[in-house]
Amino acid sequence: MPTPSPETPSGAPEAARRGWPDRITGAWNLLVDGLGALGTVLILGLMGLICADVLARNVTGASLPMVAEAGALTVVMIVYLQLATTIRHDRLARTDLFLGGLRRLFPRAGALLVAVYHAVACGTLGFIAWSTVTIVERNFMRGEYIGVPGIVTVPTWPFRALILVGMTVAAVQCAIQLVQAMRQVVHPQEQPR
């Protein structure tokens, strides 16, 4: 026998009470943190590839093909895949000595400075993402690849597309942080989520 769903005092089911904004926020946070987790998996894969290359050099005297090229693209991809979750969890490297004191003494001014910071970051990341679209297009249309023909080749567009996704998601996350900071400018007693 199925168990009845919990109901709110008004008689509406719990899922209906949550509403669309909470579901969208939850899905967005899952996407952002999922890209960060993908970046972590890629770090593990890159470490394995480098260890295999070192082993191959010591055993056979020759390196594996494409390690340098794949490593270079993967490192950039990892940075951009993990950027949005770094922004969301407020883990970007910055000096909090000044900002922390400003936010305690003058909450509105501190929130305004954070809003300006996120506005500049959003604009910069958005511009980089927009300019990357043509690079992804060109890589896809021309069939550009990395590697040595006849041995191993891999198309570059999937790497570039993931970089574009990471930058775009990071730009949107900066816009979300900007909105939250502007809410604190208007309502300084409101704590950030």
Is residue 89 included in any domain, yes or no? yes
Cβ-proximal residues to 128 (8 Å cutoff; 6+ apart), any chain: 167
Is residue 73 included in any domain, yes or no? yes
Is pLDDT above 60 for 144?
Answer: yes
Is residue 122 included in any domain, yes or no? yes
**How many CA atoms, within 13 angstroms, populate the side-chain half-sphere of residue 148?**
7
The mean per-residue pLDDT over the stretch 9-18 comes to 54
Per the structure, how many domains does the chain have?
1
Domain holding 77, by residue range, is 21-186
Query: Percentage of the chain with pLDDT > 70?
Result: 88
Residues forming beta bridges with residue 145, ordered by sequence position = 155
pLDDT of residue 158: 93
Q: Which residue has the higher pLDDT, 6 or 139?
A: 139
pLDDT of residue 11: 52
Is residue 2 included in any domain, yes or no? no
Q: What is the pLDDT of residues 65-110, one digit of tens each?
A: 888 888 998 999 999 999 999 999 988 877 677 888 888 899 999 9
Distance CA 52, CA 105 (A): 54
pLDDT of residue 18: 62
Is residue 121 included in any domain, yes or no? yes
> What CA dihedral angle connects 32, 37, 43 and 44, to 10 degrees?
-170
- Exposed/middle/buried for residue 77 (C-beta within 10 Å: 0-12, 13-18, 19+): buried
Is pLDDT above 80 for 167?
Answer: yes
Is residue 50 included in any domain, yes or no? yes
pLDDT of residue 115: 95
